[in-house]
Structure 1
């Protein structure tokens, strides 16, 4: 896939500027919001316990649900998502039960996503974290189809917390091919350079989850060809 020419400002609008470390403090979140505003990112992504949070006009608020293991009852994920939206979240990134996918229980994955979707209907944006590094290509396709059938808005590669790794160009390509433009594709986990970010967009990513956003944008001009 070939994207339109990008500059740092345009690239920033792909970014969910992310802070999900367990040891994060409210002071850290305040710094994240200030940095997101300075960099011009699309959103911030923070843990639900930090909600509600005040942000400048135009900056979206994303949070996570069932994070990072996905091993939560669907009703608990739905309640967590609903609480987050009441607390001001515009977007929710939920984690599937990856074990269900590994067992081929894709209908259970669909039902899990559908439960959260029902709790946070549009206009809330629902992203489904599939932990792609743990899945086979076939499993990635099936999980993406399940998320689409359940009414999700995005499929997302990774939590960034799994030892198997984060986003890859290969996984993003499969995900983009599977959802065929019907859903967005968020690449997250281990994207640390401008070249990494642009490669994910070339592969079909329409959103990026970054914690080191400033470094990625600062390195833009140093990467040849852009």
Structure 2
């Protein structure tokens, strides 16, 4: 839910959201664009103080890092090339033994493991997979629902060559990530985030970025 805009700046729902959260919490920040593979290592080695990048709150991850309250509920969605008509599930594509792309080391990428009949192809960024889909190198792409929906509506080439198949395939809560020892920072960011959820600002940003029917704003009192 972030991208580099035509001015070379990081933009999108999550950059806008974290800017407002940090301001509300009374901090200043430098926003850095990092490949997915460098996120968690960079946090552990203190290159960054927190992460926001459509990171699913998982029990396994909680053993190594701390999470904010969820700021959005999303999941996995699928874009299918228009050469394949009336596809609504990965099970249908699995029977065709086609190639499906996803960003490596994400929940979407690991979700494809449930369908061994598919040929899984990994990419550093979802946008790279979508470009391959447009160019005919893939039959489908799975990724974060909000991200898939945004790119689909923002890129005419993508909309003319593919379609969003079926409904959200999974349901996942996304959170901001911290080092476990940074309890004060997490508490202050949580307080600011909860305020922005309750006053409707998070929903307004989701609407601004056309995240669509695939996302919900969770109750901030539950984790």
TM-score, normalised by the number of residues in structure 2: 0.30
Query: Which is bigger in relative contact order (C-alpha 8 A, separation at least 6)?
Result: 2
